[in-house]
Amino acid sequence: MPSTFEELGLSEATLKALGELGYEEPTPIQDRTIRVLLEGADVIAQAQTGTGKTAAFALPIIEKIETTSRTPQALVLTPTRELAMQVAEAFHSYSKHHRISVLPVYGGQPIDRQLRALDRGVQVVVGTPGRVFDHIRRGTLQLGQVRTVVLDEADEMLDMGFIEDIEAILKATPYTRQTALFSATMPAPIVKLAQQYMHEPQRITVESEQKTLPQIRQVYYEVGRRDKFEVLARILDFEQPTSAIIFCRTKLEVDSLGERLTARAYPAETLHGDLNQTQRDRVMDRFRSGQVELLVATDVAARGLDIELVSHVINYDIPLDPDSYVHRIGRTGRAGRAGVAVTLVTPRERRLWDMIQRTTGSSLQRMRLPTIADVIARRREAFKETLREAIAQDGLEPYTILAESMSDEFSPTELAAAAFKLLLGPTPDETDDRLAEPEPMERDRGQRPEGKRRERNQMGPERGMTRLYIDVGREDGVRPGDLVGAIANEADIPGRSIGAIELYDHFSLVDVPSNQVKNVLNALKGTRIRNRKVTPSIAKPVRTRS
Ligand code: AMP
């Protein structure tokens, strides 16, 4: 069993920051490394980007900073300026409740800005070896008080020809320092460097349990970080999962993805460590019974879930290590049923992904993103299947009579085509196929009328729906997902049964099924949405200006 962050011996301030970031438990590399670094030992850790290695070294450093002294106490060397900036940002977020100053130094940034910052005094320096060495030569960076040095992505630094700079920098730091080396691979020069400059380092590799994977189709998509949500939406349209678990890395990401999905008419429930047992049970009931098709979850929350009928596991965030990949995808393909595992991989995660594939021995298929045309084709196939089923069932009589009554006027093909048109809705414009644009995707979803957040009809709510007035709006920070979430949770009705939503600055209009009005009004009264107490009422039947 992995430890908790508490068990690793981290301070309250750090635990608080991690909680706010939505981290639920240490990743394997954090589990193994943090303890050892806190004890003061040197560490050689074999870890890829994406495994959580930054926190693995940053957290122990933060715990040990003497806040009263404003000289550099820790130095982190990274191969690139991007990584230096990222690591510095990570330090900032992890040390939110400590008072620690962190300075990234890298080539390309005006040196006088760095000089001024160094003059004011910093406690953690994160930089590329070239620029750090520059500062040492100029006498602008004093490393005499440095207690910890981290070589991050050491193999990359080696490839970039930084080895001499690194050695010179290490020589400029106290012999008694603690040294931690992180590297995805361990080529000979790195091993030699470690032998020369480290004191009895502990070697940490995160081994995989190597499980046999169930017989499921495993595919992945390479996506830009910013396109992830649109890609997910497209994949959902294409795959039409009957029941999918979507994994995110943190609680915050779970909440935010859940909201975005719901707002885009993909009814989703969310599951993470902050829910109490009752809430959890409610979510699981809705997912198990098929009221919602999508469950967005963290690894921790999904652990121990026993659900038989998961058609898809979607790794919205790539898992942090091979074991967690195996655990996640083991949620589908149960009881001999076919399952699909889909993973989204961003360019930065490619190496980690290669490692996961290698370690799990999975044969994974890289997929081309389905185009709108693919989605339409798939939808039509599904529609044909539905028609075949309808024909096979009884009860066509009344419709046959209707069709025959028009057979003098139109051919059977014309009649069927008109009926299909009405059922399927307008055909999306395939030339509009630009992922960044949400609009075509939204139109794309005509296939599932019950799940679609219908376009507001200017004349009023649809038949069978009643419009409610809720006295919170955009200015209160309310988003459509908040309203759907609150109504679905409090009144215990499926999110998909909620109709159009219109957000104004100080109020919102929401269509709910007329037979649920009483229930919704009672359930919502006095509850809080975005921390505002609400008083809902039936909206007056006046036309609103939009
Ligand atoms: P890294 O390997 O340090 O680049 O981290 C990869 C990603 O994992 C970053 O987005 C981190 O914010 C995130 N991360 C690191 N540790 C955890 C954790 N314990 N739980 C969830 N996410 C984490």
Mutate to test the pocket of ligand 1, among 3, 14, 27 (most ligand atoms within 8 A of CB): 27
Query: 481: Cβ below 6 Å to ligand 1?
Result: no
> pLDDT tens for residues 296-353?
999 888 876 767 778 899 999 999 888 888 888 877 765 556 688 999 999 889 889 9
What does the pLDDT average to over 142-156?
A: 95
Q: Are residues 46 and 177 in the same domain?
A: yes
CATH number at residue 531: 3.30.70.330
Q: Strands 508-513, 501-503: parallel, antiparallel or unpaired by DSSP?
A: antiparallel
Whether residue 283 lies inside any domain: the answer is yes
> pLDDT tens for residues 492-543?
888 778 888 888 878 888 989 888 899 999 989 888 888 888 989 888 754 3
Query: 33: Cβ below 6 Å to ligand 1?
Result: no
Query: 370: Cβ below 6 Å to ligand 1?
Result: no
Atom of ligand 1 nearest to the CA of 49: 2
Mutate to test the pocket of ligand 1, among 29, 250, 251, 272 (most ligand atoms within 8 A of CB): 250
Does 64 have pLDDT greater than 90? yes
- Low-confidence winner among 110-124, 209-223, 401-415 (lowest mean pLDDT): 209-223
The number of helix segments (H) and strand segments (E) in the chain equals 21, 20
Angle in degrees, CA 212, 213, 217, rounded to 5 = 155
CATH number at residue 185: 3.40.50.300
* Distance (Å) from CA 126 to ligand 1 centroid: 18
CB-count burial class (<10 Å; 0-12, 13-18, 19+) for 428: buried
Q: Strands 294-297, 268-271: parallel, antiparallel or unpaired by DSSP?
A: parallel
> pLDDT tens for residues 437-469?
323 223 233 333 333 333 333 345 777 888 898
How high is the pLDDT of residue 500? 83
What span, in angstroms and rounded, lies between the C-alpha atoms of 296 and 252? 11
The closest residue, in CA terms, to atom 20 on ligand 1 is 23
Whether pTM exceeds 0.85 = no
Q: Are residues 186 and 312 in the same domain?
A: no
Whether residue 85 lies inside any domain: the answer is yes
Q: Which residues on neighbouring strands pair with residue 184, listed in sequence order?
A: none
Whether residue 156 lies inside any domain: the answer is yes
**Residue 493 three-state SS:** coil
Q: Are residues 190 and 287 in the same domain?
A: no
Whether residue 168 lies inside any domain: the answer is yes
What is the extent of the structural domain holding 516? Answer: 450-538
What span, in angstroms and rounded, lies between the C-alpha atoms of 136 and 372? 56
